C-alpha cells in the first residue's frame, strides 16, 4: 500500500535559517504529492502541491520538487520566520478514491 | 469564498455515548472526506462520501458511520464511544473532476471521558 515517511522532529531553527524537511514515499502508479501545514489549535492548510514528476510546488517562500527517481518531495525554505512555527505534513493522493496518506508530521519551531 | 466549516469546535462525551460531528464543504464541492488525528497515531483516513454515497472507508470499526446530505454537507456519527476515540476529527472537501486537492476544515476536537 501507499506510505509516506517524513523526517522526525522536532526541528528547532533560528529566524532566517534554511529549512529542509525530508519526505519520501512509496506508492503504486503516479500519485500527487502535497505539503500541508497545521498551526497550533487549527486544521490543515494546503501549503503546496505537485502532480507529476519534476513539478515544483511553491508558496510563501516554501518549495518542493517531485522527484520520481528518488521517490522524494522534500520541503525547503531559504529563510524561516517565527510565524512559520507549525507542524508540517507530507501527503500523497493515489488511486481512484483520492484519499490522502500522510506522514507523521514534523514540528518546526523557529526562535527569534 | 467560504471554506470548509465544521461544528461543533469541541465536544465532550462520556464512554458509551454517541457523538455527531458536522461538516459543510466548500460551495460546489461534492466530495467529503473524514480523517481522525489521534495523539500518537497521526492522521488516518476514515470515510469518503461523494454524491450522497459512501464510496470508501478506512480501517475503522462499524460504529464509525456517517452520511452525506443532498446539499453535500456531511455528518460523522461515532457510537458506543471509547476513550481512544478522543481525537481531532478533520473534514475535507474536494471538487469532483477538479483534481485531487482536498481542503480542510478547522476540525472538531472530541474528548471522551
- Half-sphere exposure in the Cβ direction for A2 (13 Å, CA): 22
The contacts of residue A64 (CB under 8 Å, 6+ apart) are A23, A33, A35, A48, A50, A56, A57, A58, A73, A74, A75, A76
Question: Per residue in B18-29, pLDDT tens?
Answer: 999 999 999 999
pLDDT at A55: 95
- Assign B1 a pLDDT band (cuts: 50, 70, 90): low
CA proximity to A50, closest of B64, B75, B101, B68? B101
Of residues B2 and A31, more confidently modeled: A31
Interface test with B, best of A6, A9, A36, A44 (most B CBs within 10 A): A44
Is residue B91 within 8 A of residue B104, CB to CB? The reply is yes
Chain A: which residues have CB within 8 Å of chain B? 32, 34, 36, 42-46, 49, 51, 89, 93, 97-105
**Residue B8 grid cell:** 461543533
Question: Per residue in B36-60, pLDDT tens?
Answer: 999 888 899 999 999 999 999 999 9
> Mind giving me the DSSP string for chain B?
----EEE-SEEEE-TT--EEEEEEPPTT--EEEEEEEETTTEEEEEEEEETTEEEEE-S--TTEEEEE-TTS-EEEEE-S--GGG-EEEEEEEE-TTS-S--EE---EEEEE-
Q: What is the dihedral of CA A94, A100, A105, A111, to 10 degrees?
A: 100
Q: Does A99 contact B45 at a Cβ distance shorter than 8 Å?
A: yes
Q: Is A71 left (phi over 0), alpha (psi -120 to 50) or beta?
A: left
**A60-64, A95-99, B43-47, B104-108: least confidently modelled range:** A95-99
Amino acid at each position: 500500500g501507499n506510505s509516506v515517511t517524513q523526517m522526525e522532529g522536532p526541528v528547532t531553527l533560528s529566524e532566517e535559517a534554511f529549512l529542509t524537511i525530508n519526505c519520501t514515499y512509496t506508492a503504486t502508479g503516479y500519485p500527487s504529492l502535497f505539503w500541508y501545514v497545521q498551526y497550533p489549535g487549527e486544521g490543515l492548510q494546503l501549503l503546496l502541491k505537485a502532480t507529476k514528476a519534476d513539478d515544483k510546488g511553491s508558496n510563501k517562500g516554501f518549495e518542493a520538487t517531485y522527484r520520481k527517481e528518488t521517490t522524494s518531495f522534500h520541503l525547503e525554505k531559504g529563510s524561516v520566520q517565527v510565524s512559520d512555527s507549525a507542524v508540517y505534513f507530507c501527503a500523497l493522493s493515489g488511486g481512484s478514491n483520492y484519499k490522502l496518506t500522510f506522514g507523521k508530521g514534523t514540528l518546526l519551531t523557529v526562535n527569534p | 469564498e467560504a471554506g470548509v466549516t465544521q461544528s461543533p469546535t469541541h465536544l465532550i462525551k462520556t464512554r458509551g455515548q454517541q457523538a455527531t460531528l458536522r461538516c459543510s464543504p466548500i460551495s460546489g464541492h461534492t466530495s467529503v472526506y473524514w480523517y481522525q488525528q489521534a495523539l500518537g497515531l497521526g492522521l488516518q483516513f476514515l470515510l469518503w462520501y461523494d454524491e450522497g454515497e459512501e464510496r470508501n472507508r478506512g480501517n475503522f470499526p462499524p460504529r464509525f458511520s456517517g452520511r452525506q446530505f443532498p446539499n453535500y454537507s456531511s455528518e460523522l456519527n461515532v457510537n458506543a464511544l471509547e476513550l481512544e476515540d478522543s481525537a481531532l476529527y478533520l473534514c475535507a472537501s474536494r471538487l469532483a473532476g477538479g483534481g485531487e486537492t482536498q481542503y480542510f476544515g478547522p476540525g472538531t476536537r472530541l474528548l471522551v471521558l
